[in-house]
Chains A and B, each alone.
Chain A
Amino acid sequence: MAILQSGRLFGLACLLLIMAAVAYYIRAAKGGKVPKVRRVAGIDAIDEAIGRAVEMGKVIFCSHGIANLRGATSGPQTLAGLSVLSYVSKKAIASNARVIVPVRQPEVWPIAADIVETEYKLAGRADEFDQDDIRFLSNNQFGFSSNYMGLMMREKPGANIMIGAYWAESLQLAETGNRVGAFQIAGTAQTSQIPFFLVTSDYCLIGEEIYSAGAYLTQDAPLMASLAGQDVGRIIAVVLGGLGTLAYTVGIETLLDLFGM
């Protein structure tokens, strides 16, 4: 019986190459060589959003999406949203601002609550943590959406940060945030929802920018270096895409057979 799964060898090789590149850059960063990362306006604006909410004396809403952690494409987005929540709650606590975290998935609720509670403990203010601010709204998509919209209309947040996996409710949430005058930063890797966030929010993180948010915000050298490793993967994708297009155009199928190995 073959050890390697049929048709997945090339994919494994690419994955190992990307992992090696990420590991290389992280190692180099620990030795002092930190690559330069371009500014991402949406991520830079998170501090501005928190500051605005603090000045106005309003709450901050920070949502990590409506997906769980198990989806192949949505799980990483939720993880990215939780990383942003970690940073937002840390900054909000330092500024004495209140953060409300709407949650759709009950399995993510304990993680979100633990993140915020830990930030309070790290700030030496564990007794100020209010578990009711991490609100499980509904497991139903539009039950969550209508509840979130109602919450925004009543609480009128100064900032609404939505980074994670969203679907049809994305426009409803972002439009409502717009109507209550919240400073909105939204980001998702769901390609069908990006246009909605682009037209309704003040800043939008597109696709992969949400995955780099956690690294970008902490300014941690190894994390920043991993973004350079990610770029190696992008270069591989572009080169293979170009080669594959040319090969297919001239009728050479050897390369396509290689991809299918």
Chain B
Amino acid sequence: MEIPLLITAFCALLQVIPYYLNIPVIDAASGTMREWMLLVVNMAVFVGVISLGQVHGKRIQRKGENWPFSVVLIAFMVFMAIVGFPLENIGLGFKNNQYLFMFNNILNPLGGTMYSILAFFITSAAYRAFRARNWEAAFVLISGTIVVMSNAPLFTSSMPFLITWKNWIFDVPNTATGRGVMIGAALGAIALAVRTLMGIERGYLRGGGEE
């Protein structure tokens, strides 16, 4: 068996065994490995920064398409990295005023904006999807209409039974289907884990299945 596969199997077993068996030595080793993993993951943040620097740096250098936006990105990235650096004794870090200003007044509102445009995407997707072309589509249309109407006081004030219908839709068919998908997905994940442990699933290592 190849070394990367042996490492994968060893690390996987080291995490799975403590969940079922109470063996102090393995518990301790598993905890240490989780700490190592956190260190590796946190260092991987620099990989992202380097990748961004490479892509946008090249674009700025060659004055490629939309290069001014790359300047803005790099500038903000450097600025946030500096003011957010954990040196509280010289006024930098998460409590730095400039850092908080950028975070509260730029990053958070931008994220909120992106989240809220989902409303428009849902509307356009629903317009395309809610067509009664066949029985299944008709069921989707009817149940979707009931759920949307039951969330609007305009309708529920005069038709309170909509809330009962909505609750039934959520509690019975929706929950049942969701649980079925979840069970299937969990079993699929177990099978994937077993294949990975046995060294048969190699898609994450290199060319799928090839020696």
Contact = CB atoms under 8 A, between A and B. Distances in A.
A146 B111 CA distance: 9
B83 to A, nearest CB: 17
A76 B37 CA distance: 17
A107 B121 contact: no
B187 to A, nearest CB: 4
Contacts of A169: 114
Interface stretch (A31-39, A210-218, A247-255): A210-218
Interface in B166-186: 178, 181-186
A1 B128 CA distance: 61
B191 A229 contact: yes
A223 B207 CA distance: 15
Contacts of A200: 125, 128
Given A115-B206, A172-B114, A76 B47 contact: no
B153 interface: no
Given A87-B203, A210-B188, A199 B194 contact: no
Contact of A8 (B19, B58, B187): B19
Contacts of B121: 171-172, 175
Contacts, number: 213
A234 B198 contact: no
Contact of B51 (A135, A141, A189): A135
B178 A191 contact: yes
A147 B175 CA distance: 34
B14 to A, nearest CB: 14
Nearest to A79: B204
Contacts of A220: 200, 208-209
Contacts of A111: 204
B9 to A, nearest CB: 13
A142 B191 contact: no
How large, as a class, is the contact surface on chain A? 35 or more
Contacts of A233: 187, 190-191
A85 B117 CA distance: 29
A143 to B, nearest CB: 8
A206 B183 CA distance: 12
Given A131-B54, A189-B185, A200-B125, A26 B198 contact: yes
B54 A132 contact: yes
A172 B128 CA distance: 15
B19 A5 contact: yes
Interface string A9-31: 10110010011001100100000
A222 B147 CA distance: 45
B8 to A, nearest CB: 11
Interface in B97-135: 107, 110-111, 114-115, 117-118, 121-122, 124-126, 128-129
B196 A122 contact: no
B20 A4 contact: yes
Given A208-B184, A223-B195, A234-B187, A70 B37 contact: yes
B90 interface: no
B208 A145 contact: no
A142 B209 contact: no
Contacts of B44: 106-107, 109-110
Contacts of A145: 114
Contact of B206 (A3, A118, A237): A118
Interface in B137-183: 178, 181-183
Interface of A: 1-5, 8-9, 11-12, 15, 18-19, 22-23, 26, 68, 70, 73, 76-77, 79-80, 82-87, 90, 103, 106-107, 109-111, 114-115, 118-119, 122, 131-132, 134-136, 139-143, 145-146, 154, 168-169, 171-172, 175, 189, 191, 194, 196, 198-200, 206-212, 214-215, 217-218, 220, 222-223, 226-227, 229-230, 233-234, 237
27 contacts: A18-B191, A19-B194, A70-B37, A73-B189, A76-B188, A90-B208, A106-B48, A106-B51, A109-B48, A110-B47, A136-B52, A141-B111, A142-B114, A143-B110, A146-B114, A171-B125, A189-B189, A191-B178, A199-B125, A207-B188, A214-B192, A214-B203, A215-B201, A218-B203, A222-B200, A230-B188, A237-B183
